[in-house]
Amino acid sequence: MPITFFIWLVISGLLGGAILGSSGMIGPFIIPVLMLLGFSSDVARGTCLLSELLVTAIGAIEHKKAKNVDKNIILAFLPGVLTVFLGAYLSVNLPESIMKVAIGVFEVAIGIAIFFTVKNKIDERGFGRITKKLLMKKLIIISLLAGFVKGFFGAGWGPIGIGLYIVLGIDPAIVVGSSLIVRLILDFAGGLTYASMNLFNFEAFIVLTLSGCFSVSWAVKVTKMFSQKGMRVFLGFSVIFLGLLVIIDAILLLGI
């Protein structure tokens, strides 16, 4: 492996782990970077899914230690696991690049929406005093949408699920920590699928995994110092940034 290529992978892994630990999102960052490094879209996705599995596990453990996990939020996220497969099945014969432009634009819009909620009154932890029954219905609908979009477009679970949960007023740290628990299921299923078809690069997988594991724990610790307002501002920027990367990914697929 050329030294320059190796360095770029290490940097990508470190940044990817930091982004995952602090925002719950990584694919919209890692996948376009891998494509810019010369990997095909399929190999980039497979490598990303496999590399983020261990990184996600460590991030979930760290968030659990920080008490950033709410069982009700986890239950609300779970239905989205089912619609991931439905979305993937329906998107087989559709142009991936066009769909990615759409999801990228949607993610940017969600990031902007998060900014508009920064001044809203938000709960201190998890559900808090919000009417649980009504909120749970809204969260499940969002989860189903996020799962479908993830399977359909190949991206969107984090930006849509996490982004819209935050827009509804849930503590950003709780949303990120709880989402990583469910994300483990998605990463495991998706990673095995790509591995079974040999659609991944082993060297890149190792470098991304090791460097990502190094930075994810640090990122979780840093986010603990953020206020909820600070977390919302940070996540708003993150979602917009990742949405733009998804658009770049689509442009690469179009060969423009």
Report the C-alpha dihedral over residues 174, 108, 142, 80, rounded to 10 degrees.
Answer: -80
Residue among 155, 156, 166, 73 at smallest CA distance from 113: 166
Note down the domain range covering 52: 3-254
Total count of domains within the chain: 1
Q: Give the DSSP per-residue string, 18-35.
A: HHHHHHS--HHHHHHHHH
**Would you give the distance in Å from CA 105 to the centre of its chain?**
16
* pLDDT score, position 121: 46
Q: What is the pLDDT of residue 225?
A: 73
Which pLDDT does position 118 carry in this prediction? Answer: 57
User: In Å, what is the CA distance from 15 to each residue of 23, 27, 120, 218, 225?
Assistant: 12, 12, 30, 11, 19
Per-residue pLDDT at 129: 43
Tokens of 71: 């069982």
Give the ranges where the chain is alpha helix by DSSP (H). 3-23, 27-36, 41-65, 71-77, 79-90, 96-116, 132-153, 163-167, 172-196, 202-223, 228-254
Give the pLDDT confidence score for residue 124 in this predicted structure. 44
d(CA 47, CA 93): 23
Would you state the pLDDT for residue 95?
67
Q: What is the pLDDT of residue 122?
A: 44
pLDDT at 125: 46
pTM of the complete model = 0.74
Tens digits of pLDDT across the chain (256 residues): 789 899 999 999 998 898 888 888 777 778 778 877 888 877 887 888 888 889 989 989 988 888 888 888 899 999 988 888 787 667 656 666 676 677 677 778 777 776 666 544 444 444 444 446 678 888 999 999 888 877 776 667 777 888 788 878 788 888 888 988 988 887 787 778 778 888 889 999 999 999 999 999 888 877 777 766 776 677 778 778 877 877 877 777 676 5
